[in-house]
Structure 1
Amino acid sequence: MLKLIINADDFGYSRAVNYGIMDAHKMGILTSTTLMTNMPGAEHAVKLAKENDTLGVGVHLVLTCGRPLIQGHKTIISESGDFKKLSFYEQDFQVDLQEVYKEWKAQIEKFLSFGLIPTHLDSHHHINSFGNIYNVFLKLAKEYNLPIRNNIKKEVYDISKEFKSTDFFGGELNEAIVNVINLENSFKDYETVEIMCHPAYVDQFLLKSSSFVFPRLEELEILTDKRINEDIKGSKNIKLISYRDL
Structure 2
Amino acid sequence: MLKLIINADDFGYSRAVNYGIIDAHEQGVLTSTTLMTNMPGAGHAYELGRKHTTLGIGVHLTLTCGKPLLSDHTTLVDVDGNFKKLYQYQGKFHIDQDELYREWKAQIEAFYRSGLLPTHLDSHHHINSLEPMIPVFIRLAKEYKLPVRNNIKDKSMLEGVVTTDVFEYNPEVMLADAKTIHKKYAGAGTIEIMCHPAYLDKSLMDNSSYATPRLDELYTITAPHTKEKLQSTNNFNLINYNDLKGEVNKS
For normalisation by structure 2, the TM-score amounts to 0.92
Distance in 1 between residues matched to 2:190 and 2:157, nearest whole Å: 20
Structure 1 window deviating more from structure 2 (76-85 vs 233-242): it is: 233-242
Amino acid at match of 1:89: Y
1:55-103 CA distances to partner (integer Å, 9 max, x unpaired)?
A: 0000000000000000110001011110000001122111001000000
Alignment coverage as a number of residue pairs: 241
Give runs of aligned pairs for residues 31-46 of structure 1, distance below 5 A.
Answer: 31-46=31-46
> How far does residue 188 in structure 1 lie from its aligned partner after superposition?
2.3
Tell me the residue number matched to 2:54: 54
Structure 1 window deviating more from structure 2 (24-33 vs 149-158): it is: 149-158
1:192 aligns to 2:190 (yes or no) = yes
Give runs of aligned pairs for residues 31-180 of structure 1, distance below 5 A.
Answer: 31-152=31-152, 153-157=154-158, 163-168=165-170, 173-174=171-172, 176-179=173-176
Q: Give the conservation status (yes or no) of the 8 Å contact 2:63–2:83.
A: yes
Cα–Cα, structure 1 residues 192 and 205, in superposed 2: closer, same or farther, change >3 Å?
Answer: same
Q: Give the conservation status (yes or no) of the 8 Å contact 1:233–1:240.
A: yes
> How far does residue 167 in structure 1 lie from its aligned partner after superposition?
1.4
Q: Which residue of the other structure, out of 230, 233, 240, is the alignment partner of 2:231?
A: 233
Q: Give the conservation status (yes or no) of the 8 Å contact 1:33–1:55.
A: yes
3-state DSSP class of the match of 2:155? coil
What residue ranges of structure 2 are gaps of 5+ in the alignment? 245-251
Q: Give the conservation status (yes or no) of the 8 Å contact 1:180–1:187.
A: no
Distance in 1 between residues matched to 2:228 and 2:183, nearest whole Å: 21
- Percent identity between matched residues is 53
Q: Give the conservation status (yes or no) of the 8 Å contact 1:167–1:195.
A: yes
Amino acid at match of 1:154: K
Distance in 2 between residues matched to 1:219 and 1:179, nearest whole Å: 14
Distance in 2 between residues matched to 1:163 and 1:39, nearest whole Å: 30
Q: Give the conservation status (yes or no) of the 8 Å contact 2:148–2:163.
A: no
For normalisation by structure 1, the TM-score amounts to 0.94
Q: Give the conservation status (yes or no) of the 8 Å contact 1:75–1:94.
A: yes
